[in-house]
A and B are shown apart, each in its own frame.
Chain A
């Protein structure tokens, strides 16, 4: 899995959760929260969709790693790779 593919997975999840957001101009190094209306309920959904769709577990202490697309990729790519993806 490349980091770009990982970012796309996160983007797909956000598009599913927040269909009313424009995701075309998201900056990968800026906090998602600062670019969109995402509240704690939405972040919980990102975590739960990762589990549901991909079998990836994100413990609460690690939520901070989901702040931006770049940090998501850094944190999640090894997890996908560990699952053989």
Chain B
């Protein structure tokens, strides 16, 4: 074995899950390397610069915010496990958020980081439902959402045992789904509980400088613990032999070996890397595209679930169907100057029933999420250098990736930028003059499902990954584990906890 190219643990992907797993493992003396194809860390929660401006992707708000001193919540666990002091994340709580339903947001539920506000809103707007709502909240609070082997149940069914008004039901599902669900129309109840706690019982916060603050802290911890990383160098193939991930072929063609491999890139995405090898030479190491078509048998015959077996995976680990467009509008003044100073996040829907499902057309602008990153309670009047107005809607991956050429793609972006923004404006306080927004706009950008796949490698532009989650992270390859999106702890705090849990469970606490 070439020890220079051998790691105790190789981690695929430098997103939140990969970085968190890496910190744990390096802290406890493992030789760890994170392999990241992109030139920036963060994965689905990253950042970029365009025309001299810094933009965040992903993160609207960090969920799971609790006041300092609150014990036993995901944020506290995460900070402890990574030896991060709370102040390092420099989180500032939201002002308030809303769920606004109806063609002009006629029914609205305000919520803040104080759960009593939402409870009072439900009592006032849905008086007949408040007892059921309280009973539902009691069930949510009592649920063991970190269990790795809970049996799947329909969240809609459980919620309907307590709530009889479909409007309230949809209004609760809308934020919970938009901020983490890979499943159309319904969710697994455990996932619902994770998100309900993260959004409503806990809350939203953000560092003034956005997601890069969190990433900087993680990178510094990882570096100090002795972790290595290779940027712009993804893992091209995982060569399997004797039921194990025998070695990894990197994008630059070199090979490394690792006692354990943690993949954070998704279940189907990981499956596509796995190739049967005979333990020597180039066998089975053809081009990735050619080999995919050829394989008619599972790539490994290990016992256990058929994950990573090409055929079975199409059924049991389907590529997610939910993708998104987001418009980003940079303003020459804070949103408050347009009359939008109160809302941090607005979840909106204009239809009789909320349809969280793959968009039939390019974009489904009937529902969406508005984020105003200026509207957090930053200290001492601090604010972002410019105003930001972000809108996210469901979008169709196939539509955006099958446009005939680049000109058609750009034209489609232009068209939908306007349509998404117009849809969202219905749910914000009226502008002082009809052209006020256009006059305040300095720059715009927009991501589409195509952008997501290009920069994150997530198949189908599916930010939240596959609807089928693998809670214990196991794969048929004995030393290959999944963490991150497809392991199933949601949100960015969830992603980090996923990396931590899988590192603990499969590497640090493993027997032998």
Give Cα A18 to B29, complex, Å: 20
Select A20's contact among B28, B71, B508, beta carbons within 8 Å. B71
Q: What are the interface flags for B37-55 relative to A under an 8 Å C-beta threshold, 1 for contact and 0 otherwise?
A: 0000000000000000000
Known: A17-B83, A37-B76. 5 other contacts (CB 8 A): A17-B80, A18-B80, A20-B71, A37-B72, A41-B500
Name the B residues within 8 Å of A39 (CB-CB): 72, 77
CB contacts between A and B, total, < 8 Å: 35
17 contacts between A and B (CB under 8 A): A17-B80, A19-B85, A20-B71, A20-B80, A37-B71, A37-B72, A37-B76, A41-B77, A41-B80, A42-B80, A44-B508, A44-B509, A45-B80, A45-B81, A48-B28, A51-B28, A52-B29
How many Å from the CB of A71 to the closest CB on chain B?
21
Cβ-closest chain B residue relative to A19? B85
* A57 on the B face (CB < 8 A): no
Interface size class of B (residues with CB under 8 A): 10 to 19
Q: Which residues A5-21 have CB closer than 8 A to chain B?
A: 16-20
Give Cα A39 to B29, complex, Å: 22
* B451 on the A face (CB < 8 A): no
* A60 on the B face (CB < 8 A): yes
Select A16's contact among B72, B83, B86, B509, beta carbons within 8 Å. B83
Q: Which residues A31-58 have CB closer than 8 A to chain B?
A: 37, 39, 41-42, 44-45, 48, 51-52
Name the A residues within 8 Å of B79 (CB-CB): 20
Report which A residues bind B (CB closer than 8 A).
16-20, 37, 39, 41-42, 44-45, 48, 51-52, 60
* Also in contact, A48 and B508, with CB within 8 A (given A20-B69, A37-B71, A37-B72): yes
* B402 on the A face (CB < 8 A): no
Interface centre among A16, A18, A37 (most CB of B within 10 A): A37
Q: What are the interface flags for B338-355 relative to A under an 8 Å C-beta threshold, 1 for contact and 0 otherwise?
A: 000000000000000000
Name the A residues within 8 Å of B76 (CB-CB): 20, 37
Select A41's contact among B83, B86, B504, B511, beta carbons within 8 Å. B504
Asked if residues B71 and A44 are in contact (CB atoms below 8 Å), the reply is no
Name the B residues within 8 Å of A60 (CB-CB): 511
Name the B residues within 8 Å of A16 (CB-CB): 83
How many Å from the CB of A35 to the closest CB on chain B?
12
Sorted nearest first, the 4 A-B pairs with minimum C-beta distance are A37-B71, A37-B72, A48-B28, A44-B509
Name the B residues within 8 Å of A17 (CB-CB): 80, 83
Q: Which residues B453-512 have CB closer than 8 A to chain A?
A: 500, 504, 508-509, 511
